[in-house]
Amino acid sequence: MNKEEIIEKLKPFWKKRQELQIRFRKQEEKIEKEMSKALKKKIEFFYVDGECCGIGAQTFEDRKKFPLIHDSELY
C-alpha cells in the first residue's frame, strides 16, 4: 500500500476520533460550568502537553486569587 491508500483507509477512523473528542469536550465544559457555579469563580481544567493536570482559574488575572490545584491533590 502506498501512503495515499493508507491515508484514505485511516480517514474514517480519524473522523470518529474527532467526533469523540468533540463530545468529550462538550461534557467537560458542562463540568467546568458546574465547578464555576459551585465556587462562584470561573475555573477550568488545565492541560500541559495534552494531559489534564488539574484545575485553575480561567483568566490569567484571577490566578492570583485562585490557587492552581494539581491533579495529585484531587485523588
The pLDDT, as a whole number, for residue 2 is 97
Residue 33 confidence class, pLDDT cut points 50, 70, 90: very high
Q: Domain range spanning residue 15?
A: 3-73
67 Cβ partners below 8 Å, 6+ apart? 56
Total domains present in the chain: 1
Residue 21 confidence class, pLDDT cut points 50, 70, 90: very high
CA atoms within 13 A on the CB side of 58: 12
Q: What is the arithmetic mean of pLDDT over 44-51?
A: 96
